[in-house]
Copies of this chain bind each other. A is one copy, B any other.
Amino acid sequence: MATTGSPFSAQPYQGISTFGRRPHTRNLSGVDVAILGVPYDSSTSYRSGARFGPRAIREQSLLLWGYNNAQQVAPFEVLNVVDYGDVDIIPVDIHATHQAIEQTAATIQQAETRLISLGGDHSISLPLLRACHKQHGPLAVVHFDAHPDTWDEEYPTFKYSHGTPFRRAIEEGLIDTAAYLQIGIRGPTAGPQDYADAKQLGARLITFDEAAELGVRNVLSEIQQRVGPRPLYVTLDIDAIDPAFAPGTGTPEVGGFSSYQMLQLLRGLGDLNLVGADLVEVSPPFDSQHITAILAANLVFELLSLMARKTTK
């Protein structure tokens, strides 16, 4: 039986769907970590639907029970975690939406509460990084993705969309490029300049091919080495993972990580100083029997566990 009185004593199909059955509140007093939904998907270039991502991840998070055997920690016991609800987004205006995201994220972080955000499309990482940077200065960023997302413009003359956030973030000085890794990049691009540009901007671009060649352990060593004691932000585009394991996403790329490889990659971040994270591009209308949302909920659980283990040390 589940620990009585724990948020997981009810069965997963019962009750109101907050993340991990944590209280839904905007009162941040004594709160260690807030889960924030950001249901914005108007900047996707292929399939929309990520606006339903936060809801689907919350729903499947009720399957998590409470103890992480791999990381040997019960994050909801170690940390005071709340579900902050969603940012109010304006689907017709990316600027107003980004402002609302930044403001909400900043409010949370100013309360000394760490933030894990659930997308929504990848454009949301830019305002999230802005808010995190305010609190922590330039950030080490571990960026799991199939795509570099460092285009200058995805739509002619438009600087903001889900293909450009990391170029903007670098231009704005939010990222410490000495500790910026893109991991899992693959698939066709507009041309060879896409990868070249990402590298020139300072990213350590590890394609999926290279990651497969290196193996999980060597990738983790390089992450550890580059990030070191810096404040770390993890941004995880679910399309870093192969569509067989994560079909519910906007721009799927074949030939990516398995779920297990991604679990290992997150678990291997154990000693780093994780100050914030987002998980984006889960698109439930394209999911298959919720397997993408279940995976996403588990990945957030791993991120929470990383924060919890750091706390207990």
Contact = CB atoms under 8 A, between A and B. Distances in A.
A166 to B, nearest CB: 15
Interface in A44-85: 44-49, 51-52, 55, 58-59, 63-70, 72, 74, 83, 85
A155 B59 contact: no
B48 A92 contact: no
A291 B66 contact: no
Classify chain A's interface size: 35 or more
A262 to B, nearest CB: 8
Interface stretch (A6-14, A106-114, A273-281): A6-14
Q: How many copies does the complex hold?
A: 6
Interface string A25-56: 00000000000010101111111110110010
Nearest to A23: B24
Interface stretch (A128-136, A174-182, A219-227, A246-254): A246-254
A-side interface mostly: loop
- Which residue, A12, A188, A251, A288, has most C-beta atoms of chain B within 10 A? A188
A63 B46 contact: yes
Contact of A190 (B6, B160, B252): B6
Interface of A: 1-4, 6, 8, 10-18, 24, 37, 39, 41-49, 51-52, 55, 58-59, 63-70, 72, 74, 83, 85-86, 88-94, 96, 123, 151-156, 158, 160-161, 186-192, 194-195, 207-209, 212, 242-245, 247-248, 251-252, 254-256, 258-260, 263, 285-291, 294-295, 298, 301
